[in-house]
Amino acid sequence: MKSLEKIVSSTKRIFGTSLLVGAIAVSSFLGGCGKSSDNQPLRAIQDESYPISDNQQLRAIQDASYPIWSNTDLELNKHEGMAIVYNHEFNVKLSFYNGSMPLKFSGTETPGRGYAYSSPRMMKYEFEDFSNYFIYDGLTLTGVVAVDKSNSLAAEAKIIYFIDEGRQGIKMEEFHYDSKGKLIFNCKSLIDPSMGFKKSEAEKIGRKQRDYFFIMPFGLNN
């Protein structure tokens, strides 16, 4: 259940050399906004000396696709106005969530639902030890990036929409990385469009260390 916590504005800052993400600062309802012209790429530093997976499939995927998204793609870094932070709490155990219960996290979104703005877009989910940042094409969610507490790229995914028996379906192709930026896991996962929960995984390659995308801003959580 959502509860309005506070109205905030977004500012930007660089976290070392590893990653640029938007930072949230509390402000009044009519607060201003921050902006940065820094365009450092959102990626672990890539170098020829970094180890890569012995699995030929993972290596081919990484060579062709890594990384999918840059810091300039993140909605939080593109948004120049106010933002709203909500607290979320779920008492139902999700299939791909292995943490403590109840599940608690905050969601940062653009204004909407009664404000003089267009439809809201979820910009960030912040969990206890990592955060998910969302990517949009207009109002369509197209991707997500998971960043751990050390501000390193942990995982990313691209959203795939399809029609199944006349109904819209939602898949994600996930890419998970180790602390040195090596691709260690790839899969196709299915999302429940009415609830936003991850339902299943298929075409799995490699070994996943943990799950980052067990809940997404669709349906109930949108």
HSE toward the beta carbon, residue 210, CA cutoff 13 A: 11
HSE toward the beta carbon, residue 221, CA cutoff 13 A: 25
Reported as a single tens digit per residue, the pLDDT across 156-213 is 999 999 998 888 899 999 999 998 899 999 999 999 999 999 999 999 999 999 999 9
This prediction's pTM: 0.74
Least confident among 33-37, 104-108, 164-168: 33-37
Burial class (CB in 10 A: 0-12, 13-18, 19+), 141: buried
Residues facing residue 140 across a β-bridge: 137
Identify whether the C-beta of residue 211 lies closer than 8 Å to the C-beta of residue 198. Answer: yes
